[in-house]
């Protein structure tokens, strides 16, 4: 990894227009940096990432958009995990939010993205609705916008920009151009999701994550509808139909959990299907370029942390750009990769059954004096997973690792694993 930008960065081209791109553009424009977003508007009917966590609320306030988001979002006071025969595990944010707000929001994703993009424009960022073309400079690590792309911006940058930021998400424009390797997660899952008019819900606003006959599902209450996604091993969907719609509709009818939760429900949208859910780029910075958001890496959606990771990485990149030197960009790269790896670890504890086995053991042993005394402390720190703050809290993560190793008693975690 190397970073060879010399001197103060005054012009930045951001490829993409999603949450990470808009967040970074807003902060840079406020700082007086000349910044433009080069992107093609999304035409998808749906996008993954409709549920926020409390740790993202201070960032919405920093961007000045919380009031606007609140006006069209669904208030989210907590989450519940339905583990079938092992019971339900509800978590209310106010019980362990600490200094964070004790709530979050479920958001119509396309409207949320429009809010953040408009905030960037108000701050002074320019938006060019175009497919930006980038090219490698010889065999070096350096890239640049093509002459045609620069011309299409009406010479907004007055020459090549000082820095190119790839925020194209899973399109991963620069990693593909430069052949940057990445590490995938161990699971090979497929996600199918759509919006329904209604489903069975525990409490208003709570996000539901339910263990299924195979895989798991999310239910996110939105204004006037519910987003329901199914995450299942990639070998299974073809058994339920030839198209995403056939597979989704048949899973709703045949899975023992979903057929109860969605009885009488009507699907309101097409079904989207995704197959890549865990990835971390091995390099995030180079000669005059940097990756941010999903381009840098993404994780499984089980804990609603995707938007949090993207937006926090954008704020970290803002700090690095403002500093403008190699150590700052190296610290940015190391911090983002560490954050992603930590979330991958948390996700694995969910899939392999250890997380909820430890919760179950704690519940079963609450009559023991030592457990009764320690339970509130443990619950607070384990609960930070659901606020989004655990991955950046070393003590909470250390306690979690201890419990995942020593807190299972004689219980077999495979009994609660995702099949």
For domain 75-104+188-276, the question of CATH label 3.40.50.10860 is answered with no
Predicted local distance difference test score (pLDDT) of residue 33: 97
Beta bridge partners, 89, equal 81
Query: What kind and span of H or E run contains 79?
Result: strand 78-82
Q: Is the pLDDT of residue 200 over 80?
A: yes
The average pLDDT across 270-287 equals 89
CATH of 11-73+108-183+278-345, one of 1.20.210.10, 3.40.50.1480, 3.50.50.60, 3.30.360.10: 3.50.50.60
Q: Name, in order, each residue with C-beta under 8 angstroms of 395's C-beta and a sequence gap of 6 or more.
A: 381
Predicted local distance difference test score (pLDDT) of residue 382: 85
Rounded to whole angstroms, the maximal C-alpha distance in the chain is 72
Q: Is the pLDDT of residue 371 over 70?
A: no
Predicted local distance difference test score (pLDDT) of residue 48: 86
Which residue from 201, 269, 221, 211 is spatially nearest to 51, judged by alpha carbons? 221
Q: In this structure, is the dihedral angle defined by the CA atoms of residues 314, 315, 320 and 323, taken in order, positive or negative?
A: positive
Give the pLDDT band (50/70/90) at residue 118.
very high
Q: How high is the mean pLDDT of the chain? A: 92
Predicted local distance difference test score (pLDDT) of residue 116: 98
> What are the angstrom distances between the C-alpha of 342 and each of 3, 55, 204, 234, 238?
25, 16, 30, 24, 32
The average pLDDT across 83-95 equals 92
Give the pLDDT band (50/70/90) at residue 197.
very high
Beta bridge partners, 267, equal 196
The length of the chain in residues reads: 419
The average pLDDT across 88-117 equals 94
The average pLDDT across 56-63 equals 98
The average pLDDT across 116-136 equals 96
The average pLDDT across 305-331 equals 95
pTM: 0.94
Domain with CATH 3.50.50.60 in the chain: 11-73+108-183+278-345
Task: Write the pLDDT tens digit of every residue in 152-189.
Answer: 998 899 999 999 999 999 899 999 999 999 988 778 89
The average pLDDT across 352-358 equals 94
Predicted local distance difference test score (pLDDT) of residue 277: 67
Q: Which residue has the higher pLDDT, 408 or 199?
A: 199
How many Cβ atoms are within 10 Å of 67's Cβ, its own excluded?
A: 9
Instruction: Compute the distance between CA of residue 282 and CA of residue 111 in angstroms, rounded to an integer.
Output: 32
> What are the angstrom distances between the C-alpha of 45 and each of 8, 268, 349?
40, 11, 32
**Spatial contact of 212 and 230, defined as CB atoms under 8 Å apart:** yes
The average pLDDT across 249-257 equals 97
Per-residue tokens: 340: 């992603």
The average pLDDT across 121-139 equals 95
The average pLDDT across 205-228 equals 96
Domain with CATH 3.30.9.100 in the chain: 75-104+188-276
């Amino acid at each position: 990894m190397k970073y060879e930008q010399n001197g103060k960065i005054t012009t930045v081209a951001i490829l993409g227009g999603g949450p990470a791109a808009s967040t970074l553009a807003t902060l840079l424009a406020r700082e007086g940096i000349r910044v433009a977003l080069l992107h093609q508007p999304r035409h998808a009917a749906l996008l993954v990432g409709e549920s926020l966590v409390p740790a993202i609320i201070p960032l919405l306030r920093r961007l000045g958009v919380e009031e606007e988001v609140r006006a069209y979002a669904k208030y989210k006071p907590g989450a519940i995990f339905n583990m079938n025969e092992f019971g339900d595990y509800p978590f209310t944010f106010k019980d362990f939010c600490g200094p964070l707000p004790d709530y979050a929001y479920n958001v119509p994703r396309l409207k949320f993205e429009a809010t953040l993009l408009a905030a960037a424009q108000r701050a002074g960022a320019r938006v060019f609705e175009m497919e930006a073309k980038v090219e490698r400079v010889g065999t070096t690590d350096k890239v640049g916008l093509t002459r045609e792309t620069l011309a299409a911006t009406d010479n907004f940058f007055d020459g090549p920009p000082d820095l190119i930021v790839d925020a194209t998400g899973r399109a991963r424009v620069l990693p593909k151009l430069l052949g940057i390797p990445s590490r995938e997660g161990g699971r090979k899952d497929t996600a199918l999701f759509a919006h329904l008019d209604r489903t069975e819900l525990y409490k208003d606003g709570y996000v539901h994550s339910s263990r299924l006959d195979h895989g798991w599902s999310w239910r996110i209450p939105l204004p006037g509808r519910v987003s329901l996604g199914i995450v299942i091993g990639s070998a299974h969907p073809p058994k339920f139909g030839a198209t995403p719609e056939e597979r989704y509709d048949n899973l709703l009818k045949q899975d023992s959990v979903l057929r109860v939760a969605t009885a009488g429900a009507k699907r309101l949208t097409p079904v989207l299907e995704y197959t890549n859910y865990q990835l971390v780029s091995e390099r995030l910075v180079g000669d005059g370029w940097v990756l941010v958001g999903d381009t840098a890496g993404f994780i499984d959606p089980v804990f609603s942390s995707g938007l949090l990771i993207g937006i926090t990485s954008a704020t970290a990149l803002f700090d690095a750009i403002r500093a403008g030197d190699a150590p700052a960009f190296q610290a940015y790269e190391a911090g983002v990769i560490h954050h992603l790896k930590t979330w991958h670890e948390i996700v694995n504890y969910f899939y392999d059954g250890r997380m909820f086995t430890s919760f179950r053991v704690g519940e079963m042993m609450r009559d023991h004096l030592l457990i009764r005394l320690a339970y509130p402390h443990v619950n607070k720190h384990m609960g930070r997973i659901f606020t989004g703050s655990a991955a950046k809290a070393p003590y909470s993560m250390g306690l979690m690792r201890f419990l995942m190793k020593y807190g299972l008693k004689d219980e077999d975690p495979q009994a609660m694993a995702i099949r």
